[in-house]
């Protein structure tokens, strides 16, 4: 049996994700699809709209055979660290391919870009720093530096977010001397602005979240953009938990947490540096909402994503001594598994060199503290007794099977 | 002009407090009443039912001439530390007397008790430890030790909470070699259990809070037990803020805060010792309310008050390096002042050796960080934009005058 790996957030799952999952399986001729999926906090520094268990069900229903949790230590980090974690997990699980969507769509370009990056590492780094200093974004600076140094036109636009991630995946494979191979699929995109729902069946997860949280659309009316079981999953979640998660629900807790800090104690939080702690503590006093807070803190230097990631680490009170840019993949946490997934695991299990966590309560020797904490914090806006039940699930939930 | 000092919480203000305030003034023949009043968190380890500003207005309307904030560093501590702070403030302000209500009612007994305590300090301490070990409460152990060592019957029952505080006031005066004199007034008590509203005009603050939070009585029906302006003050507070404060409102934040901690980091919190951190972290997971949490954690060793004080320090994230059993009174924070109070301050101002804080925003050189933090945390259950306005008040509110 051969497996293809995909790296996902499903926030929430939509038709574009379905296309990606099916294409990945077909194009690599795989028997088994392994989805490495972020836990409760995501790469843009946001809480997931529904729990990892609800998203696992969606992934399984859409055809994933194994759903593995991308730990907090990777899921809330910038592209290179995020990619390193996900690729390492897929390598541990002997996937033949990692298959990622990209705006560009040509795997060779990613390989070439990555090779040039490595060959000219020092010179490119220097140029990137200069371009950053005159006010360019990091992706723009990287594109300019690459062009200047290599004088090659690869046509890989680094200002497109999935191209950035693609390069990170290829870099991770090379860095880890992994045997997994990269393969990219062109993303089907809407021609509209990311935040606007498209007129086709494919729209971005961003546009879906925007429409839901601005009360532009109701879950039940999303059938154009997502499979029916996903809509049912979202509706069930709303009924059971009471809401879909967004940053505003966590704002009272973020404000409370910041209020307990001095600038000195805030400096101990991961990613808090360069004096941003003073800016944060000053802005929070009068901030009326999370959006209001971000708008008060944001500058050219601090992008929204970077600030949101800081806010996630503040919310979870994650310290510099708890997290780094190079965490290790110390375990494989199985969130969901299909019949095919079970056959595949049976085949590879003996060759997996890290512990496989099925149920947390049975794995006392594995350090899952950051992921457990993330779930605890993610549950903060829930009412009792639902909150306590939710927390219990973190310890007692075995891999979901459908 | 002569001043009498009283040490109060007014949680909430009732007829018994009114009697105490007036008697203190009459019995000591004072021109000016100085009320040292706890800020937002109180000695039993509870949030105050209404803000310090609302309680300041009640105190002024009832006849207090100066309302001084007892800082967080003292207001949330056990009797001796609490008393040391309050007495030091009154001594700074040149009060002639500190006048406290007690069950016993005879000042001489307090002086005698305190003298004997000092004379036999070492022996009594040893006996207290033995009595504690066999399961006695601290007040009971102290009573037994005193009787055993001195063989004297002072008749001061240390199991009555205001007698305990009275002894602490007298000890504080002696320890500080203060010139202020103690004077006690017999408390008028209801003959009913503390939690039951009495049938006379005097009932305990505990019974009022209990009746309010168990929905046994509405604020408007409390006119038997408190002056009308106080009832109006409570009603206004409910209208403006949306509720009266109790621990349950802070429970989601306490649970959230505990969830961000490991046993090791929890040990850094003030008063967390002897392994209680494991008990707390274990109980919080399934606790559905603050009451439920306390019932899960409580043992003979840890009284409710002791646990509640711990919870206050966890809620405010107050570390061992921020607080001790012997903090210093570094400032006098003026919450309210009457015409007479102004005359009195004019008379003594030049002889006050610590800074007098009228408006926080104008006192950047004074370290008020614990009190500011307490107000920030106290505001956590408030909705925006009321919460932000509440926080602003901490910095901009000048002393209240009526």
pLDDT, tens only, B72-97: 999 999 999 999 999 999 999 999 99
Residue A190: predicted pLDDT: 54
Shortest distance, CA B260 to any CA of chain A (angstroms): 6
Q: Output the average pLDDT for chain A.
A: 93
Judged by DSSP in three states, B276 sits in helix
**Continuous H helices in B1-78:** 15-27, 52-61, 72-75
Q: What pLDDT sits at residue A268? A: 96
Token code pair at residue A235? 């509706």
pLDDT of residue B23: 96
pLDDT number for residue A303: 86
* Rounded Cα gap, residues B163 and B161, in angstroms: 5
At B54-63, the pLDDT tens digits run 999 999 999 9
Q: Tell me the pLDDT tens digit for each residue of A314-367.
A: 999 999 999 999 999 889 999 999 999 999 999 999 999 999 999 999 988 888
Contact predicate B59/B336, CB 8 Å: yes
Q: Whole-angstrom Cα distance, residue A57 to residue A12?
A: 12
| Buried b or exposed e, range B251-285, using 16+ CB within 10 angstroms | bbbbbbbbbbbeeebbeebbbbeeebbebbeebbb
The whole-number average pLDDT for the span A142-162 is 82
pLDDT at B152 over 80: no
Report the pLDDT value the prediction gives residue A193, as an integer from 0 to 100: 60
Using CB atoms, pick whichever of A255, A380, A391 lies closest to residue B285.
A391
The pLDDT value recorded for residue B161 is: 81
How much is the pLDDT for B325? 95
Give chain A's radius of gyration (CA, Å).
21
Cβ A76 vs Cβ A45: under 8 Å: yes
In which band, very low, low, confident or very high, does the pLDDT at B378 lie, cut at 50, 70 and 90? very high
Task: State chain B's mean pLDDT as an integer.
Answer: 93
Was A187 annotated as part of a binding site? yes
pLDDT at residue number B61: 95
Averaged pLDDT, B177-201: 83
Give the pLDDT confidence score for residue A162 in this predicted structure: 86
Judged by CB atoms closer than 8 Å, whether chains meet at A373 and B257 is answered as: no
Q: Please compute the mean of the pLDDT values over residues B19-36 and round it to a whole number.
A: 97
DSSP summary character for residue A149: H
Contact B388 A286 (CB under 8 A): yes
Pick among A40, A247, A251, A252 to test the B interface (most B CBs inside 10 A) = A252
Helix (H, G, I), strand (E, B) or coil at A67: strand
Determine the pLDDT at residue A176.
96
Q: Is the alpha carbon torsion for B73, B74, B75, B77 positive or negative?
A: positive
The whole-angstrom separation of Cα B362 and Cα B234 is 30
What does the pLDDT read at residue A35? Answer: 98
The pair of structure tokens assigned to B65 is 């001439």
ipTM, interface predicted TM-score of the complex = 0.90
Residues of A in contact with B289 (CB under 8 A): 384
Q: Chain A within 8 Å of B123 (Cβ-Cβ)?
A: no
**pLDDT score for B138:** 81
Would you call A260 an interface residue with chain B, using a CB distance cutoff of 8 Å? yes
pLDDT at B150: 80
Q: What is the pLDDT of residue B301?
A: 79
pLDDT at B191 over 80: no
Backbone φ and ψ of B302, nearest 5°: -110, 105
pLDDT for B193 equals 60
Low-confidence winner among A161-170, A187-196, B44-53, B124-133 (lowest mean pLDDT): A187-196
pLDDT at B40: 98
Model confidence over A35-82: pLDDT tens digits?
999 999 999 999 999 999 999 999 999 999 999 999 999 999 999 999
A14 is in an annotated binding site: yes
If pLDDT is split at 50, 70 and 90, which confidence band does B195 have? confident
Query: B380: which DSSP letter?
Result: T
> Is pLDDT above 90 for B302?
no
Distance from the A278 Cα atom to the nearest Cα atom in chain B, whole angstroms: 15
- Quote the CA–CA distance of B19 and B158 in Å, as a whole number: 23
User: Which helix (H) or strand (E) segment is A276 a member of?
Assistant: helix A276-284
pLDDT surpassing 90 at residue B136? no
pLDDT of residue A152: 73
- Cα-flanking dihedrals φ and ψ of residue B390, to 5°? -60, -45
Question: Could you tell me the pLDDT band of residue B149, with boundaries at 50, 70 and 90?
Answer: confident
Confidence at residue B190, expressed as pLDDT on a 0 to 100 scale: 54
**What digits encode the pLDDT tens for the residues A378-389?**
999 999 999 999
- Test A260 with B317 for CB contact under 8 angstroms: yes
Is B377–A289 a contact, with Cβ atoms under 8 angstroms apart?
A: no
pLDDT for A251: 98
Query: What percent of chain B shows pLDDT beyond 70?
Result: 99
CA distance B256 to chain A (A): 6
With residue A183 as reference, give the H or E element that holds it. strand A181-186
Cis peptide preceding B179, ω within 30 of 0:
no
Q: Give kind and range of the element (H or E) at residue A186.
A: strand A181-186
User: Over 70: is that where the pLDDT of A178 sits?
Assistant: yes
Which of A41, A242, A260, A383 should be substituted to probe chain B, the one whose Cβ sees the most B Cβ atoms within 10 Å? A260
pLDDT above 60: residue B192 = no
Task: Quick: pLDDT tens for A275-315.
Answer: 999 999 999 999 999 999 999 999 877 889 999 999 999 99
| Test the B interface: residue of A256, A289, A314, A320 with most B CBs within 10 Å | A256
pLDDT tier at B132, thresholds 50, 70, 90: confident
Grade residue B151 by pLDDT with cuts at 50, 70 and 90: confident
Residue B231 confidence (pLDDT): 95
Report the pLDDT averaged over residues B231-237.
96
Distance of CA A193 to the CA centre of its chain: 21
DSSP of B179-214:
--EEEEEEPP--SS-TTSPPSSS---HHHHHHHHHT
Which residue matches tokens 């360069």? A274
Cβ of B392 within 8 Å of Cβ of A289? The answer is: no
Chain A residues whose CB is inside 8 A of the B286 CB are 388, 391-392
């Amino acid at each position: 049996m051969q497996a293809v790996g995909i790296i996902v957030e499903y926030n929430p799952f939509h038709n574009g994700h379905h296309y990606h999952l099916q294409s990945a399986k077909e194009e690599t001729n795989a028997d088994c699809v392994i989805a490495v999926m972020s836990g409760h906090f995501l790469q843009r520094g946001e809480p997931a709209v529904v729990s990892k268990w609800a998203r696992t069900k969606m992934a399984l229903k859409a055809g994933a055979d194994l759903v593995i949790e991308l730990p907090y230590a990777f899921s809330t980090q910038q592209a290179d660290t995020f990619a390193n974690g996900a690729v390492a997990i897929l390598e541990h699980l002997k996937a033949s391919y990692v298959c990622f969507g990209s705006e560009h769509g040509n795997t060779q370009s990613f390989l070439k870009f990555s090779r040039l990056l490595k060959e000219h590492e020092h010179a490119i780094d220097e140029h990137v720093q200069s371009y950053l200093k005159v006010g360019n974004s990091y992706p723009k600076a990287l594109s300019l530096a690459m062009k200047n140094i290599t004088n090659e036109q690869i046509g890989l636009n680094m200002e497109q977010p999935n191209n950035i991630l693609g390069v990170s995946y290829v870099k991770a494979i090379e860095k880890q001397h992994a045997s997994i191979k990269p393969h990219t699929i062109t993303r089907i995109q809407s021609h509209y602005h990311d935040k606007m729902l498209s007129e086709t069946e494919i729209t971005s997860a961003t546009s879906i979240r925007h429409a839901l949280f601005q009360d532009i659309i109701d879950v039940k009316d999303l059938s154009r953009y997502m499979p029916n079981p996903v809509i049912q999953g979202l509706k069930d979640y709303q009924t059971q938990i009471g809401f879909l998660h967004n940053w505003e629900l966590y704002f009272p807790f973020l404000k409370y947490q910041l209020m307990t800090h001095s600038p000195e104690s805030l400096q101990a939080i991961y990613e808090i540096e360069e004096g941003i702690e003073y800016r944060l503590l000053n802005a929070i006093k009068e901030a009326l909402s999370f959006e209001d807070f971000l708008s008060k803190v944001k500058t050219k230097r601090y992008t929204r994503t970077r600030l949101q990631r800081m806010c996630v680490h503040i919310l979870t009170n994650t310290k510099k001594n708890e997290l780094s840019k190079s965490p290790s993949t110390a375990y494989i946490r199985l969130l969901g598994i299909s019949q095919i997934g079970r056959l595949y695991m049976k085949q590879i299990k003996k060759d997996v060199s890290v512990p496989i966590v099925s149920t947390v309560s049975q794995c006392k020797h594995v350090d899952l503290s950051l992921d457990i904490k993330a779930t605890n914090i993610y549950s903060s806006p829930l009412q009792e007794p639902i909150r306590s039940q939710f927390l219990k699930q973190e310890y007692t939930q075995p891999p979901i099977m459908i």
